[in-house]
Amino acid sequence: MQFPSPVAVSWIAEFINAKLIGNNNGQATGINEIHKVEAGDLVFVDHPKYYDKCINSAASFIIINKEAVVPEGKALLVVENPFEAYSKIVHHFRPFLPADKTISDTAIIGANSFIYPGAYIGHHVVIGNNCVIYPNVTIGDFCVLGDNVIIQSGTVIGSSAFYYNSKKDREVWYKKMPDCGRVLIEDAVEIGAGCTIDRGVSNDTIIGKGTKFDNMIHVGHDTVIGKNCLFAANVVVGGCTTIEDGVTIWGGCIINKTLTIGENATLLGRTGVGSNLEGGKTYWGAPAKEAGIVQRELVWISRIPELWKKVMSK
């Protein structure tokens, strides 16, 4: 999430009651989680395993629970509980906004776009020109749709990210990380019925221009899907995944989090993806392999009984 304007890190330190070490004249331009940080961002870390990664990331300001060496130009904000400090900042800049109308007065809806009765359009939503939003669609706060977008009935755009801070030493192990990201849907995208597209935790979930979704598809937080992709029904995509341009994914595929599927790859039905896949190839199976290899393996498996008979007859 980008702040409305740069915020003095000294003010942030006072706001969260942190000890400020390093660049005390810095200006934070936004808040982000580690997978998406950029220069000027504020980020938090509360586990020794990720201290170095976070301190040496692109982030300029790090909320942390231990003093450490600070790279030049950066600042540490040392607090007892970084997660709670992060949450306090998010709630301050992106507070809960109750709604009393099905279409918010703050929503911007372009020319010739049609919203069917029963759809909900949240605060500060932007919808482009010539869009059609069918009944019982929900578009959450701050989401953005381009021109010529179609959203079929029952779909939720901008549902809350499934992202939790976990600690086993407290009564409630999993505490929800407050999300302040958006969903950005580019021009000429079509989303089928009953889909759920989670907003980014602190950045954006993006659906690229010309991409088409069938029904009952789930896309996790902060995922970036490229242009002109085709998704058949019942595809599940984990968070922080990158799917490049021109990828075709057939029905029932399950794609793990934080991986990349290369440009113009094809996943045949029921494929399970657990690691990066090169572009320009066709995959099948779980775990995913090139489809030709899987087919040859199945041929050899079918021959096992015949081979076993030959062995036993000797």
Which residues does the annotation mark as catalytic? 221
Q: How far is CA 261 from CA 121, 207, 242, 273, in A?
A: 32, 14, 6, 9
DSSP state of 200: P
From the number of C-beta atoms within 10 Å of its C-beta (0-12, 13-18, 19+), residue 273 rates as: buried
Find out whether 138 and 120 touch, Cβ atoms under 8 Å: yes
Helix axes 291-302, 304-312, angle to 10 degrees: 40
Find out whether 203 and 180 touch, Cβ atoms under 8 Å: no
Distance CA 54, CA 44 (A): 8
Tokens read off for 204? 């954006």
Distance CA 258, CA 242 (A): 7
Distance CA 213, CA 236 (A): 12
Distance CA 89, CA 270 (A): 41
